[in-house]
Chains A and B, each alone.
Chain A
Amino acid sequence: MTTTLEAPQTEQPDADVASGPSWKIPILLGVVGLIAFILFGLGTPSGTHTTFVVSRGSDAIQIPSWAVPAQAFALFLTISALLLAGVSAWGVATRRKLGSWVPILFGLAIIASILVWAGAGKTATSIQVTGLLIGTVVLATPLVFGALAGMVCERSGVVNIAIEGQLLSGAFMAALVAGAVAGATGSSTVGAYAGLLAAPLAGALLGAMLALFAVRYWVDQIVVGVVLNVLAVGLTNFFFGTVMRENPDLNRAIGLPDITIPLLSDIPVVGPVFFDQNLLVYAMYALVIIFNVMLFKSRWGLRVRAVGEHPKAADTVGIKVNRTRVRNTILGGAIAGLGGAFFTVASGLAFNKEMTGGKGYIALAAMILGRWSPKGALAAAMLFGFADSLREQFGIIGTSIPSQFLAMLPYLATIFAVAGLVGHVRPPAAENIPYKK
């Protein structure tokens, strides 16, 4: 409305005028808790046991498996969840700030109760704890790359909704180059690493196109992003149907070898989860740490954030706004492209049509849930990765839940997290606003 400067406002809403505290979260927790209590607490047959297997057969140090009486345990967990919902309601009623531990513990209790319920009375199969966690990290990897890519762009004021397309093109390029180099050198390992190197180029190319239209020609960034996603699908489908079909050698299942870190990888649970992965996963951790430092502690980060929050202020102190944005958009594209290699060379799979399956959009949600910070993006991506891993685990042990509903799990977690837990987040102020002098 008004374009002039506003006087500062008291940020504390006055209790008597404000429309009252929000009961959304206690109600949400209560409803979910009640459903869990009925379905998983009361629904678990009595007299059965659920077995949690911690160690894998190949682990150096074996931890004994753990069998719990299913119904008692499921009841305990779901009642705990209901109590936590009550704590949350008490917090709202007495206007205390409880912090995020309540919803986190609540989520853990619900998930554990589902696991107990699903594994109850199954003698042939059991809950593989380590496998669940390995799956979490692996499945979170493309999300972390995607979220970092979005963050690098958006912190400078460019919305990157083309993450999906950048992942897809990265996946395609990694497979293509891996196949070509492996064919030429005869070593699939060399091929896989070459694919890993090539993947960012494809993403960067899409990033450059986004920068061109968004920064140079002021086209709406959301529209450009969507168009680029469609373009990436079209191009990869085309080459998949032509080049790759005519030369099957160019699209083979080539995988990056796992790099096992001595000693550390022998630690139970932690070892296989964190220290027995391929290069791309280690690169993910490195990037999260590097960007966390760079964004908040370096000259580059300060300037990028200034450009994304108040470009004119940045301009008046001599920072080149549009140059910063172009560079960041291309860099973001490259990061997403690298993440795309996960789908092919890092998973040991051949390229397939539209194989990213919407992961780019979940990465976007992870970025928002993580409040545009690398650390937050990692945590949020892990949450979504866990939901995805849970789905796989259920698929293996077999439950009465139809598989279509299980497939929804990551997306449900996304909606639940973004709508219910994020609360009010503030994106960079100059997002999706072209800088015109």
Chain B
Amino acid sequence: MKLELKGITKRFGTFTANDSIDLVVEPGKVHALLGENGAGKSTLMNVLFGLYVADEGEVLLDGKPADFDGPGDAMAAGIGMVHQHFMLVPPFTVAENVMLGHEQVKGAAKLLDLEAARAKVKEISDRFKFDVDPDAVIEDLPVGAQQRVEIIKALSRDAKILILDEPTAVLTPQETDELLSIVKDLRDAGTAVVLITHKLREVQAVADTITVIRRGKVVGTAEPTASQAELASLMVGRDVSMTVDKDEAKPGKVMLTVDDLSVVDEEGIARLKHVSFNVRAGEILAIAGVQGNGQTELAEALLGVVPTTAGTAMLDGEIITDKPIKDVLHSGMGFVPEDRTEDGLVASFTIANNLILDLHDKAPYAKGMALQPKVIAEEAEKHVEQFDVRTTSIEATASSLSGGNQQKVVLARELSRPLKLLIASQPTRGLDVGSIEFVHKRIIAERDGGAAVIIVSSELDEVLALADRIAVMYHGEIVGIVPPDTDRDTLGLMMAGAHEEEAA
């Protein structure tokens, strides 16, 4: 089935997410939709899938206009979508998830025909060697397997066009390779695949056609043979350096010592198990791993947001575990949380106030019980300029800023204290390439200024670009700490739980 999008325009208020986009997807081809976060790729696909209604333009299927009133219609027309955040019901089995919405029934009582659903799952699973058990419960499955269930779900509805929205964001490198080979198999079986991504390597590996989107517009098409630098500059709109410039690390004394640290969550599940490591002044330790393997808990336990059940952390000779967060911050820790809108900023506060969240009760920002608005404003102007925060005014609310500029505000605040240790979780998630460069430079500058730095990142590229040493986490444990020149495959296997010796 051939899919054509003609002049699709979608606006949210005054913001134009898609500006008259044209796109043709041919059967038996992989069409990559390349663009930065926020470029409008997902919006476009949600329009196609019937989740959003386009303001202008039309969708043609085999030359006939299609009008979708909800995802049900899109699926009936043969369009399947694997969402970035999986649309699976966690307590249901694979078979139940696959049958949901188009259940077969049997008998006079019209009860669910689970047998038929199981058989269907098995058939598709065998055809593409997915190795998925129809009776497994979704929440017990690894992410890679959940994604295959999503693909089975789409195929069980006879999808002729399969949309994959950032499918590799949550996968280990090995799972990514498996997925890409599945994509090739699907293409060879005649399915049209739309691959939405911002990862250049994947595009080069499987795409037959590449369309690049920037700020809601199609800015060009490229051949899969194009170089990464060409693709990147097309995607960003200017030449970008693909590497981070940094000098050799000059590690000093041990700044942070973590010994046997453990965290158990409210449900009694161990999230961090006997983690021990140290970080020296002037070096960056990157914590790599697939999201949800204890990195968040580690960072938050060091700050003191989550209680620890065992072990200690020592910052410059002082024990910081079980100290109030305020004391930890003032003893020289900077913390950039992974979810900046939720934990890093108060969205409805002004930029100026967000910049003094940690110091609002200290001179010169406060005198007695009163804030000193003049001092606060002066300091804010200084920070906004230093960190190149693009805003109309320091009195604008944090929520009015783009993601990149919000992150700059968080960094400006955290780096304004003299730091012994900087912890940055997913420091560039969702940022445009320009902001990424800036954030990376500031982090390296902090290292060169003599602070110990911990970066938590699920992006292997970022880990490899910044790290002086790499600690890989899996299921709450550090499976190994390796040098930064370790190859991707080894890191990938470690991210799946293999120890360094086995992986190498």
Contact = CB atoms under 8 A, between A and B. Distances in A.
Interface of A: 1-11, 13-14, 17-19, 293, 297-299, 302-303, 305-306, 309-310, 312-319, 424, 426, 429, 437
B90 A429 contact: yes
A41 to B, nearest CB: 36
Contacts, number: 144
A19 B309 CA distance: 7
Give the top 8 A-B pairs by smallest Cβ distance, nearest first. Answer: A318-B72, A317-B101, A6-B292, A7-B292, A313-B87, A17-B270, A14-B270, A316-B87
B235 interface: no
Interface residues of B, number: 59
A424 B267 contact: yes
25 contacts: A2-B291, A2-B338, A4-B291, A5-B170, A6-B291, A8-B139, A13-B270, A17-B262, A17-B274, A298-B109, A298-B110, A305-B89, A305-B92, A306-B92, A309-B92, A310-B87, A310-B88, A312-B87, A314-B100, A317-B71, A317-B102, A318-B70, A318-B76, A318-B101, A318-B102
B309 A17 contact: yes
A305 B475 CA distance: 30
Q: Is the interface of B mostly helix, strand, loop or mixed?
A: loop
A197 to B, nearest CB: 26
Contacts of B292: 2, 5-9
Contacts of B103: 299, 302
Nearest to A1: B339
A327 to B, nearest CB: 17
B169 interface: yes
Contacts of B110: 298-299
Nearest to A298: B111
Interface stretch (B78-86, B186-194, B208-216, B242-250): B78-86
A306 B142 contact: no
Given A14-B273, A297-B112, A7 B264 contact: no
Contact of B100 (A1, A302, A312): A302
B343 interface: yes
Contact of A299 (B86, B112, B267): B112
Given A302-B100, A309-B92, A319-B72, 12 more contacts: A1-B338, A1-B339, A5-B143, A8-B143, A13-B269, A17-B309, A299-B105, A299-B110, A310-B89, A313-B86, A315-B70, A316-B71
Interface string B258-276: 0000101001111101100
B326 to A, nearest CB: 20
A271 to B, nearest CB: 30
Contact of B268 (A18, A293, A313, A319): A18
Contacts of B428: none
A318 B309 contact: no
Interface in B45-101: 49, 51, 70-73, 75-76, 81, 83, 85-92, 96-97, 99-101
A318 B71 contact: yes
A176 to B, nearest CB: 37
Contact of B85 (A5, A10, A19, A303): A5
A108 B338 CA distance: 52
B41 to A, nearest CB: 17
B296 interface: yes
A247 B367 CA distance: 72
Contacts of B142: 7-8
Nearest to A317: B101
Contacts of A18: 264, 268-270, 309
Contacts of A6: 291-292
B290 interface: yes
